[in-house]
């Protein structure tokens, strides 16, 4: 979006917009971290809650990255289908493209499927927690390298 | 849930995913399973250590399979749920064997896009040197990583589209005739012409070199006339691309008298023209400068030397270097580390029997996997490494033919003498020899070191009398491993660790004959 505006706005105006975008990037990133912290302090026997919060941790951090890189901010439910949208220059891009989709499927199972048990998960709780922790760390490095201190 | 490796299931959809993934990764097999969930089936693909490369292969697989395949969005790549006991039978290990075999010969085409994933930097930062502008000669024994270092530079040049030419001198092995100079020049001009297609002068030079190559008479003076034209023709390339790089891999395989001549001709094209020579060879068999004719590349003025091989003088560092190389290949194949398939002490023994030479270590390790698999061992054992080292000795003897074909018998005779001294007379695998560069036999011993039949434990010690310096050497493990089985040979050390001087001083001395001058 911002790239298109650069054709009609001057640098100063674009910087103001980028600054405003990055304020929201930080807030979204913070929201993701909050979900992650909540998941970590939740007891393991509450596997549905933990998987759900871990997913939302990753989901919001991914949105923060997308908002910064693409200027895209979505609020509709179909956004959950975009978990594989990771920038090309993002560290371990292919691992996250694959595993975050697996985590989304586990979250759907945890939140909506009354028949499901913990053994039905694709990623164990520990694997999911490590995945999201790594993703948040890589996202922080990625954004900070691009001048956004989250 | 049942783990599959054979695709015997009726459902074609997992087959499509797995087959596509195997093609992309070159795995002969992968373990997979279908997980039934309340929301439908999920395809799980298992590897011991899924890495980014393998996730990329899976993502590409899922993007390329048919859109109606239900596993297109329902496939996961996971770490194996239980640690397998029979690790040598894993598809990952089988793939490692293939990958290690491929890496034994490094050429300009090796690894391509995966080069930097699998490349392990040398022990002493040789990469920083080789990428610098300037002429370099890389010295090291066979398998020490000379070609890999040249390939490192080559792979940094490729993305920048920097003009380069790579000449594999093995093509000209054993040649003594000056026609080699024309052939090499022609190869270089042909490769560089790709960066300036249709350039009239370059085409004309190619035609002239072609006709010289066909001529049977000595064409030295005609070559000299081509050189200034070649120099001028290459010049625009350096203006456009900053620099041009010419690689000569394994210069030592052509006749020693020809080596300075060929370097002199190439240097006349390169000097002051931002064209840089990157040469590799075995130091003892390379003559980069002929002082009598003043031909060639004189070091360090015309070219700087990069030495890769530390023999066994720093055994602990050599071991960690070899382990890093094997770990990089193991990771590439979806294994967490090479130790995952090794029994206790295997890597230490491997580094020791390979005498710190990376390619020998890769070869011995590949053979050891085969031997351990045949014996139904769960992991690679020290015994299988020992056996593979013994087999490697035969390979090294064959290398004599490649590196000093004219002096094969001479080298074999001296080797037998040293072997008798160590195994029969002294019953030890290590010894001292006095450093006497004027002594022909000492120089032959240095050739045995270059051929990896002897290995340097210490470059220079003074065990008894001040002023008399000795080199501490070890006979290659492959020549007594079978005898060792009879427990008749006392091993100097069994695994790589720094030595103490007092250990070396106790070693027996292999006497050199006195020279004529000493008799007088």
Q: What is the ipTM of this complex?
A: 0.93
Give per-residue pLDDT as tens, B197-209. 888 889 999 999 9
How far the first Cα of chain A sits from its last, in Å, is 22
Tell me which chain B residues have a C-beta less than 8 angstroms from the C-beta of A109: 37-39
The answer to whether B99 touches B329, Cβ cutoff 8 Å, is yes
Q: Does A105 touch chain B (CB under 8 A)?
A: yes
**pLDDT above 80 (res B100):** yes
Helices (H) and strands (E) in chain A, counts: 5, 0
Would you state the pLDDT for residue B406? 66
Q: How far apart are CA B20 and CA B62, in angstroms?
A: 9
Would you state the pLDDT for residue B5? 55
Would you state the pLDDT for residue B3? 60
Would you state the pLDDT for residue B496? 76
**Least confident segment among A110-124, B298-312, B496-510:** B496-510
Percent of chain B with pLDDT over 70: 94
In angstroms, what CA-CA distances link B501 with A80, B126, B477? 67, 29, 22
Q: How far apart are CA B74 and CA B40, in angstroms?
A: 9
Give per-residue pLDDT as tens, B236-248. 898 889 899 999 9
Q: Does A131 touch chain B (CB under 8 A)?
A: no
Q: Which of A84, A105, A120 sits opposite B74 (nearest CB)?
A: A105
CA distance A99 to chain B (A): 7
CA distance A74 to chain B (A): 22
| Cβ <8 Å between A98 and B42 | no
Strand-pair category, B164-168 with B136-139: unpaired
Q: Which residue has the tokens 């002199």?
A: B264
Tell me which chain B residues have a C-beta less than 8 angstroms from the C-beta of A108: 39
Best mutation target among A85, A91, A122, A135 (most B Cβ atoms within 10 Å) is: A122
Residue in chain B lying closest to A108 (CA): B39
Q: Which of A84, A92, A116 sits opposite B52 (nearest CB)?
A: A92
Give per-residue pLDDT as tens, B292-324. 999 999 999 999 999 998 888 898 999 999 999
Tell me which chain A residues have a C-beta less than 8 angstroms from the C-beta of B73: 101
Residue-level length of chain A: 150
Give per-residue pLDDT as tens, A2-50. 777 788 888 888 888 888 999 999 999 999 999 999 999 999 999 999 9
| Helices B382-403, B358-374: crossing angle, 10 deg rounding | 130
Residues near B382 by Cβ (< 8 Å), separated by ≥ 6?
A: B343, B345, B346, B349
Q: What single DSSP character describes residue B421? A: I
Q: Which of A92, A97, A122 sits opposite B76 (nearest CB)?
A: A122
Best mutation target among B54, B55, B58 (most A Cβ atoms within 10 Å) is: B55
The answer to whether B428 touches B489, Cβ cutoff 8 Å, is yes
| Cβ <8 Å between A122 and B77 | no
Percentage helix, strand, coil for chain B under 3-state DSSP, each rounded to 5:
50, 15, 35
Beta strands in B356-510 (DSSP E): 430-434, 454-461, 470-475, 509-510
Best mutation target among B37, B42, B81 (most A Cβ atoms within 10 Å) is: B37
| Cβ <8 Å between B52 and A120 | no
Tell me which chain A residues have a C-beta less than 8 angstroms from the C-beta of B56: 94
| Cβ <8 Å between B59 and A116 | no
* Dihedral sign (CA B177, B180, B183, B189): negative
Q: How far apart are CA B227 and CA B243, in angstroms?
A: 18
| Cβ <8 Å between B39 and A116 | yes
Residue in chain B lying closest to A81 (CA): B73
Give per-residue pLDDT as tens, B150-181. 999 999 999 999 999 999 999 999 898 889 99
Confidence of residue B9 (pLDDT cuts 50, 70, 90): low
**Burial (0-12, 13-18, 19+ Cβ within 10 Å), B239:** exposed
CA distance A126 to chain B (A): 13
**Least confident segment among B118-127, B329-338, B509-518:** B509-518
Would you state the pLDDT for residue B258? 94
Would you state the pLDDT for residue B484? 53
Q: Does A122 touch chain B (CB under 8 A)?
A: yes
Q: Does A99 touch chain B (CB under 8 A)?
A: yes
Q: How far apart are CA B496 and CA B356, in angstroms?
A: 9
What structural domains and CATH numbers belong to chain A?
2-145 (1.20.120)
Would you state the pLDDT for residue B477? 87
Tell me which chain B residues have a C-beta less than 8 angstroms from the C-beta of A131: none
Confidence of residue B488 (pLDDT cuts 50, 70, 90): confident
DSSP B395-414: HHHHHHHHHSGGGHHHHHHH
Mean pLDDT over each residue of chain B, to the nearest integer = 90
The answer to whether B212 touches B222, Cβ cutoff 8 Å, is yes
Q: Which residue has the tokens 């959809």?
A: B13
Tell me which chain A residues have a C-beta less than 8 angstroms from the C-beta of B35: 120, 122
Confidence of residue A52 (pLDDT cuts 50, 70, 90): very high
| Cβ <8 Å between A120 and B37 | yes
Q: How far apart are CA B479 and CA B443, in angstroms?
A: 21
Tell me which chain A residues have a C-beta less than 8 angstroms from the C-beta of B61: none
Q: Which residue has the tokens 């891009």?
A: A93
Would you state the pLDDT for residue B520? 47
| Cβ <8 Å between B52 and A94 | yes
Nearest to B484 by CA among B418, B428, B435: B428
Selected residue with higher pLDDT from B232 and B311: B232
B269 has which bridge partners? Answer: none
**pLDDT above 80 (res A64):** yes
Token pair in block for residue A33: 């971290």
Q: Which residue has the tokens 């065990």?
A: B463
Residue-level length of chain B: 520
Give per-residue pLDDT as tens, B351-366. 999 999 999 999 999 9
Best mutation target among B35, B76, B79 (most A Cβ atoms within 10 Å) is: B76
Q: Which residues of B touch A (CB under 8 A)?
A: 35, 37-39, 42, 44, 50, 52, 55-56, 58-59, 73-74, 76-79
The answer to whether the pTM exceeds 0.90 is: no
Confidence of residue B2 (pLDDT cuts 50, 70, 90): low
């Amino acid at each position: 979006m911002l790239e298109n505006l650069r054709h009609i706005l001057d640098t100063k105006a674009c910087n103001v917009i980028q600054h405003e975008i990055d304020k929201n990037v930080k807030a979204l990133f913070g929201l993701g971290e909050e979900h992650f912290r909540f998941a970590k302090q939740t007891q393991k026997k509450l596997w549905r809650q933990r998987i759900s919060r871990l997913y939302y941790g990753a989901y919001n951090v991914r949105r923060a990255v997308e908002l910064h890189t693409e200027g895209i901010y979505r609020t509709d439910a179909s956004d959950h289908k975009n978990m594989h949208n990771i920038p090309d220059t993002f560290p371990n891009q292919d691992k996250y493209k694959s595993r975050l989709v697996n985590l989304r499927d586990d979250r759907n199972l945890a939140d909506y499927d009354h028949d499901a048990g913990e053994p039905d998960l694709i990623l164990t709780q520990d694997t999911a927690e490590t995945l999201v922790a790594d993703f948040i760390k890589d996202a922080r490095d990625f954004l900070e390298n691009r001048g956004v201190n989250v | 849930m049942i783990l599959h490796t054979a695709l015997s299931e009726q459902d074609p959809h997992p087959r499509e995913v797995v087959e596509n993934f195997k093609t992309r990764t070159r795995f002969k097999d992968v373990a997979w399973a279908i997980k039934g969930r309340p929301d439908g089936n999920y395809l799980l693909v298992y590897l011991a250590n899924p890495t980014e490369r393998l996730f990329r292969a899976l993502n590409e697989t899922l993007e390329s399979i048919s859109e109606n395949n239900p596993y297109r969005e329902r496939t996961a790549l996971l770490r194996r749920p239980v640690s397998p006991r029979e690790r040598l039978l894993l598809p990952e290990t089988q793939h490692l064997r293939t990958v290690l075999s491929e890496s034994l010969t490094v050429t300009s085409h090796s690894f391509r896009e995966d080069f930097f994933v699998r490349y392990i930097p040398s022990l002493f930062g040789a990469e920083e040197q080789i990428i610098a502008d300037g002429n370099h000669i890389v010295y090291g024994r066979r398998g020490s990583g000379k070609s890999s270092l040249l390939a490192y530079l080559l792979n940094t040049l490729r993305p920048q589209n920097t003009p380069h030419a790579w000449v594999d001198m093995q093509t000209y092995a054993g040649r003594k005739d000056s026609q080699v100079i024309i052939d090499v020049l022609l190869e270089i001009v042909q490769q560089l012409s790709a960066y300036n297609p249709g350039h009239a002068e370059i085409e004309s030079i190619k035609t002239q070199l072609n006709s010289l190559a066909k001529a049977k008479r000595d064409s030295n003076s005609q070559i000299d006339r081509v050189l200034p034209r070649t120099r001028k023709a290459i010049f625009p390339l350096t203006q456009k691309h900053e620099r041009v790089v010419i690689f000569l891999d394994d210069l030592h395989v052509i006749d020693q008298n020809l080596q300075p001549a060929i370097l002199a001709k190439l240097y006349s094209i390169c000097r002051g023209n931002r064209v840089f020579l990157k040469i590799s060879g075995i130091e003892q068999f390379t003559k980069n400068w002929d002082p009598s004719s003043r031909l060639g590349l004189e070091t360090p003025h015309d070219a700087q030397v990069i030495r890769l091989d530390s023999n066994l003088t720093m055994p602990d560092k050599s071991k960690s270097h070899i382990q890093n190389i094997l770990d990089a290949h193991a990771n590439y194949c979806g294994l967490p580390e090479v130790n995952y398939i090794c029994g206790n002490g295997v890597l230490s023994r491997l580094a020791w029997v390979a005498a710190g030479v990376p390619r020998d270590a890769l070869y011995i390790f590949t053979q050891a996997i085969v031997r351990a698999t045949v014996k139904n061992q769960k992991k690679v054992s020290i015994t299988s490494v020992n056996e593979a080292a013994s087999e490697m000795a035969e390979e090294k003897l064959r290398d004599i033919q490649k590196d000093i074909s004219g002096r094969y018998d001479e080298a074999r005779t001296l080797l037998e003498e040293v072997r008798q001294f160590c195994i029969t007379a002294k019953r030890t695998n290590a010894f001292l020899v006095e450093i006497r560069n004027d002594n022909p036999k000492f120089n032959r011993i240095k050739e045995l070191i270059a051929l990896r039949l002897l290995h340097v434990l210490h470059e220079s010690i003074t065990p008894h009398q001040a002023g008399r310096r000795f080199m501490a050497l070890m006979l290659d493990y492959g020549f007594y491993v079978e005898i060792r089985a009879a427990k008749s040979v006392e091993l100097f050390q069994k695994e790589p660790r720094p030595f103490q001087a007092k250990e070396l001083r106790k070693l027996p001395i292999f006497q050199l004959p006195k020279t004529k001058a000493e008799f007088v």
